[in-house]
Chains A and B, each alone.
Chain A
Amino acid sequence: MTETAVSEQDRFERLERLREENLVLEREAGVLRQFLETMDKLIEAIESPNRESEALTLLSQVLDSAIRAIGARDGSLLVPDTDTGELVFVLVQGESTKASLIGRRLPAGRGIAGWVAEHRCGTTVNNVPADDRFYPELDVEFDYRTSSLLAAPLLGGNRLLGVVEVINKQDGKLFSTGNLTLLTLMCRFAGELLHSLISDVELTQSMRNAEQA
């Protein structure tokens, strides 16, 4: 091979490497940008004048963005029933949305979501059927297959407001520690915003009541 041919091949290889690197970097930057955008939208929603009616829309946005930013197929939001200790499915979103799941309950402390609620910390489970905490009844009933799962608590004002689950990473990939960090932060941010929304509404309400009394 002549010298020019070698250097030409070198250049081609270099170009290929740069292209590959560019794809990887773009993908990572994309995930991070989407994460920022979600948090930014949350602030906008909470600052908007008719925010009282928007709590659920807010949560729905969080769930939707979490599913997209993390690259999962489905997701759900569960809210605790403080009387019974059960977790109730409030939102179900994604590719294989099962509307009938809404309103269903997980017995206290059951399932991975129950574990998250109890321990107030997130968890990554990349082989769900083999996990002791898994509650398989719902999969059977809804003819669904939970393979991998990421779950984080929605904490605000030191209270557990709910649990967000992101289910089945796309293309059969595994959830990473980075994914869990993003979900945990998103949930905490949303939880604290929600908490101040609730305290604000409660305060306004009690002031109104005081005025009327």
Chain B
Amino acid sequence: MSESDERIHDEIAQLETENAALREEILSLRQFIDSMQNLMEAVEQPLPEAELMELLSEVLRNALQTIGASDGSLLVLDEDSDELVFVITQGESAKKQLAWQRLPPGEGIAGWVAKNRRATIVNDAQADDRFYPALDRELGFKTLSVLAAPIIGGGRVLGVIEMLNKKEDKLFSVGDQTLLTLMCRFSGELLFTVIQQNQDQK
């Protein structure tokens, strides 16, 4: 192969990789936009309390898909006890037994997220001081990596969304964190508006 042939060959290979990565990025960003748009449309009509859960379920499903994690859960803050309650679990190894389990105040990575009102990435969960291993043991689950973000609405923490174990043993990225943070915040603020409206009507 001549030198110029080799250069062309290299550039083709490089562009193919680059374009594939860009296509993947665009796809995930479009998925994110679609899910935000669906959420916005869903709250156009008055929402009874019962349908809020369905909406949150949808948010979690979209987050799992957009970010490419194998499992996820949504925890809601019990303002009386300051505990986080597992309300929805989804994914490959969704554990029904996890529903309604509680995390003591400030415990676990989710507890840290609720307390500090900000998202975090933990790519080696077992080695992280904040990790709460009791649930893994109880459910026979192995948490490897965690991405968690607070659901904030009207200035208050309403809950936390956790993504567990990024697929194909990849690591959660800062980009993933931004997407989850935005999804959670947008849902939180929309939720706050819906709750406020429902209260006004009562």
Q: Report the bound CA distance from A158 to B189 in whole Å.
A: 11
CB contact between A158 and one of B19, B36, B117, B193 (< 8 Å): that residue: B193
Q: Report the bound CA distance from A145 to B153 in whole Å.
A: 41
Contact A196-B192, Cβ < 8 Å, known A185-B36, A185-B40: yes
When distances are taken between beta carbons in the complex, the residues of chain A under 8 Å from B197 are: 158
Contacting pair A181 B37 (CB below 8 A): yes
Rounded to whole Å, the gap between the CB of B56 and the closest CB of chain A is 16
Rounded to whole Å, the gap between the CB of A166 and the closest CB of chain B is 17
User: Which residues of A173-202 have CB atoms within 8 Å of chain B's CB atoms?
Assistant: 181-182, 184-185, 188-189, 192-193, 195-197, 199-200
When distances are taken between beta carbons in the complex, the residues of chain A under 8 Å from B154 are: 196, 199-200
When distances are taken between beta carbons in the complex, the residues of chain B under 8 Å from A156 are: 189, 193
Contacting pair A22 B18 (CB below 8 A): yes
Which of A19, A28, A157, A196 has the most chain B CB atoms inside 10 A of its CB?
Answer: A196
Contacting pair A18 B15 (CB below 8 A): yes
When distances are taken between beta carbons in the complex, the residues of chain B under 8 Å from A18 are: 11-12, 15-16, 19
User: Which residues of B1-24 have CB atoms within 8 Å of chain A's CB atoms?
Assistant: 5, 8-9, 11-12, 15-16, 18-19, 22-23
Contacting pair B29 A39 (CB below 8 A): no
Main secondary structure of the interface of B (DSSP, over half): helix
Q: How large is the interface on A (under 10, 10 to 19, 20 to 34, 35 or more residues)?
A: 35 or more
Q: Is A15 an interface residue (CB 8 A)?
A: yes
Contacting pair B155 A200 (CB below 8 A): yes
Q: Is A11 an interface residue (CB 8 A)?
A: yes
- Chain A's closest residue to B175 (CB) is A36
Q: Is A21 an interface residue (CB 8 A)?
A: yes
Contacting pair A22 B19 (CB below 8 A): yes
Q: Report the bound CA distance from A29 to B19 in whole Å.
A: 11
Q: Is B94 an interface residue (CB 8 A)?
A: no
Q: Report the bound CA distance from A84 to B87 in whole Å.
A: 46
Q: Is A5 an interface residue (CB 8 A)?
A: no
Q: Report the bound CA distance from A67 to B12 in whole Å.
A: 35
User: Which residues of B155-202 have CB atoms within 8 Å of chain A's CB atoms?
Assistant: 155, 178-179, 181-182, 185-186, 189-190, 192-193, 196-197
Q: Report the bound CA distance from A58 to B140 in whole Å.
A: 46
In the complex, 24 of the A-B residue pairs with CB atoms within 8 angstroms, ordered by the A residue number, are A11-B5, A11-B8, A18-B15, A18-B16, A18-B19, A22-B15, A22-B22, A29-B22, A29-B25, A29-B26, A32-B25, A32-B26, A39-B186, A40-B178, A157-B196, A158-B193, A181-B33, A185-B40, A192-B189, A192-B192, A192-B193, A196-B154, A196-B155, A199-B154
Which 6 residue pairs are nearest across A and B when measured between Cβ atoms? Answer: A192-B189, A25-B22, A18-B15, A32-B29, A200-B155, A196-B154
